[in-house]
Amino acid sequence: MTNLTHLTIRAALDGLEKKDFTATELVDAHIAAAEAARGLNCFITETFDAAREQAKAADERYAKGEALPLDGIPVAMKDLFCTEGVQTTAASKILEGFKPPYESTVSGQMKRDGAITLGKANLDEFAMGSSNGTSAFGGVVNPWKRKGDNRDLVPGGSSGGSAAAVAARIAMGATGTDTGGSIRQPAAFCGITGIKPTYGRCSRFGVIAFASSLDQPGPFGRTAEDCALLLKSMAGYDAKDSTSVNAPVPDYAASIGQSVKGLKVGVPKEYRVEGTNEEIIALWDKGVEMLKDAGAEIVDVSLPHTKYALQTYYVIAPAECSSNLARYDGVRFGLRVEGDNLIDTYENTRAQGFGAEVRRRILIGTYVLSAGYYDAYYNQARRVRKLIWQDFIDAYKQCDVLLTPTAPTPAFAIGENLQDPVTMYLNDIFTIPASMAGMPGMSLPVGLSADGLPLGLQLIGQPFAEETLFKAASALEKAANFTDLPQTLMGKAA
């Protein structure tokens, strides 16, 4: 029989439909893979029993010819999505044991469509990080390794568990959230595909907030088409989210394989920043050629405020997070560490419940919002944000999509880049601008570094033009023909 864990979602849906195998077999194969790969620490909470039950129900629907759009597809759910009755932690000690009495809209829609959650995927605490190293439940290990170097590498972050699970063939797809690159950067580090849709495309209801004006759920898959299938299920208007946009959800998968002839691909010069890995620059040039060969028209564009995006982000995201995380006070849910009095209890709870990076961001956010600094920092950042947004709007007068690198380096080893928070922040330098502007962005694997690590390129699209992104991604995917497997899986494939 086929190695079920190596199938794409599209192939698995076909196989299930044709009764080549059952959903139970598919789910069991992935549970076995997950159990074998527990060392990667992809899940904070496993929900295998529930998954097996759901697989049975899926099989019954297939037998009756009533299969749902994603029926029986095993996925990993980032542990930032609240799941009713199932522990939801945001990878923080402060939420350990928290079982929400409600379901996030996105996870609910995936369940509605028959997707089966294998577990709650590990992440950086409250989605704050670029290496998955800030999780209170331990870091995630990237299934990829450098050639001849046995050191464990980070999967990227914050959606590290989701990306690693999909790369390691533990899950066929996964959910992530992206605030400044948390889907795109781990997708690049793990050699898979991930898309951050336009802000407002997927509901944030039931998604634990980091920075509300930036957070956006999106899928991971091993192909652009798989991401399209997942996004179709995740996206849509939600009356429970005031920033959700009421626009129809197209059949994204229909864009796969469409010609990019005449598509105008913008190449922003500001992304050629110093310190970027030369292999990545070379890969970028190669990507441009691939799209050109496929019939796209290449346009040089300028996004002049790109170099201020990171700084803008590190004002706005911490400011919002300092307020969003005020609700973790030990009164109604989560950890409480008793003190001498109420204030002492608050301070103990939050000091012990939050990890170092979360505390740091709350403090910087508190500082930039505080009296006397608000205008100089917060309002100035919001004004620059407007300029960054305007850059994109102007660029889109010349082109349909932008092509850039996803991250300035391939995956790094666990423990590297820890000297100073600011060094770590530089990881998101290519992904943050699209986040600030709310534009959809997608990362897909296009090649390997000399030492055998996957490298990703990013496509950035116009608001609500995800279909164009999928079209361009599938052209690039076809040309790149990225078939390499993580070293930990080599030889295991059929």
Partner 1 sequence: MTALLKGETGDWEMVIGLEVHAQVLTKSKLFSGASAEFGGAPNTHVSPVDAGMPGMLPVINKECVKKAVMTGLGLNAKINNVSVFERKNYFYPDLPQGYQISQYQHPIVGEGSIEIDLPDGSVKVVGIERLHLEQDAGKSLHDQHPQKSYVDLNRSGNPLMEIVSKPDMRSPEEAGAYVTKLRAIVRYLGTCDGNMDEGSMRCDVNVSVRKPGAELGTRCEIKNVNSVRFVQQAIEFEARRQIEIIEGGGVIKQETRLFDTSNGTTRSMRSKEDAHDYRYFPDPDLLPLTVEDGFIEDIRKTMPELPDAKKQRFMDEYGLSHQDASVLIGERERGDFFEKVAKGHDAKLASNWVLSELLGALHKAEKDLKDSPVTAEQLGELIGLIEDDTISGRIAKEVFAEMFGTGKNAGDIVEARGLKQVTDTGEIEKIVDAVLAENPDKIEQYKGGKDKLFGFFVGQVMKKSGGKANPGMVNDLLKKKLEA
Partner 2 sequence: MSIDKETVGKIARLARIKVTEDDKEVLAGELTNILTMIEELNAVDTKGVEPMTSVVQMQLHERADEVTDGGIPEKILKNAPEETAGFFVVPKVVE
Catalytic residue set:
78, 158, 182
312 binds, among partner 1, partner 2, none (CB under 5 to 8 A by kind): partner 2
**CB closer to partner 2, 24 vs 311:** 311
Please report whether residue 205 would count as binding partner 1 according to CB under 8 A. yes
Q: Which stretch binds partner 1 (CB under 8 A): 138-146, 304-312, 341-349, 432-440?
A: 341-349
Please report whether residue 21 would count as binding partner 1 according to CB under 8 A. no
What is the strand order of the sheet 216-221 is part of? 43-46, 116-121, 74-78, 173-178, 216-221, 193-196, 441-448, 454-460, 401-405, 264-268, 297-301
- Terminal Cα distance for the chain, rounded: 9
Q: State the angle between helix axes of 278-293 and 466-480 in degrees (0 to 180), rounded to the nearest 10.
A: 100
274 CB-near residues (< 8 Å, 6+ apart): none
DSSP H stretches of helix in 160-299: 160-167, 184-190, 224-234, 278-293
Cα gap 435→441, rounded to integer Å:
8
Q: Which stretch binds partner 2 (CB under 8 A): 41-49, 123-131, 376-384, 395-403?
A: 376-384
Residue 336 has, within 13 A of its CA and on its CB side, a CA count of 12
404 phi/psi in degrees, rounded to 5: -145, 170
427 CB-near residues (< 8 Å, 6+ apart): 130, 131, 156, 181, 185, 407, 408, 409, 417
Please report whether residue 149 would count as binding partner 2 according to CB under 8 A. no
Please report whether residue 363 would count as binding partner 1 according to CB under 8 A. no
Taking CA 203 as the corner, what is the angle to CA 46 and CA 309, rounded to the nearest 5 degrees? 100
DSSP H stretches of helix in 266-409: 278-293, 309-324, 342-353, 356-369, 380-395
Q: Which of 91, 174, 283, 437 binds partner 2 (CB under 8 A)?
A: 437
Contact track, partner 1, 75-94, x by CB under 8 A? ------xx-----x-x----
Q: Which of 8, 380, 449, 487 binds partner 2 (CB under 8 A)?
A: 380
Q: Which of 58, 95, 256, 265 binds partner 1 (CB under 8 A)?
A: 95
Residue 210: CB minimum distance to partner 2, A: 16
**CB closer to partner 2, 275 vs 491:** 275
Please report whether residue 104 would count as binding partner 1 according to CB under 8 A. yes
Please report whether residue 382 would count as binding partner 2 according to CB under 8 A. yes
64 binds, among partner 2, partner 1, none (CB under 5 to 8 A by kind): none
Cα gap 462→201, rounded to integer Å:
13
Cα gap 177→328, rounded to integer Å:
20
Q: Which stretch binds partner 2 (CB under 8 A): 29-37, 261-269, 373-381, 452-460?
A: 373-381
- For 142-252, list the strands marked E by DSSP: 173-178, 193-196, 216-221
Please report whether residue 8 would count as binding partner 2 according to CB under 8 A. no
Please report whether residue 342 would count as binding partner 1 according to CB under 8 A. yes
Cα gap 396→32, rounded to integer Å:
46
221 CB-near residues (< 8 Å, 6+ apart): 8, 9, 166, 172, 173, 192, 193, 194, 227, 229, 230
Please report whether residue 204 would count as binding partner 1 according to CB under 8 A. yes
Q: Which of 123, 364, 432, 442 binds partner 2 (CB under 8 A)?
A: 364
Percent helix, strand and coil across the chain, each to the nearest 5? 45, 15, 45
Residue 342: CB minimum distance to partner 1, A: 7
Q: Which of 65, 101, 248, 262 binds partner 2 (CB under 8 A)?
A: 101
Residue whose C-alpha is closest to residue 408's, from 281, 266, 268, 269: 281
Please report whether residue 330 would count as binding partner 2 according to CB under 8 A. yes
Please report whether residue 311 would count as binding partner 2 according to CB under 8 A. yes
Please report whether residue 212 would count as binding partner 1 according to CB under 8 A. yes
Rule CB under 8 A: which residues touch partner 2? 97-99, 101, 199-200, 213, 239, 242-243, 245-246, 305, 308, 310-312, 314-315, 322, 326, 329-336, 338-339, 341-348, 350-351, 354, 359-360, 362-364, 366-368, 370, 376-377, 379-387, 389, 420-422, 425, 437-438, 463
Rule CB under 8 A: which residues touch partner 1? 81-82, 88, 90, 95, 98, 100-102, 104, 204-209, 211-213, 239-243, 319-320, 322-323, 325-327, 329, 331-333, 342-343, 346, 366, 369-371, 374, 378
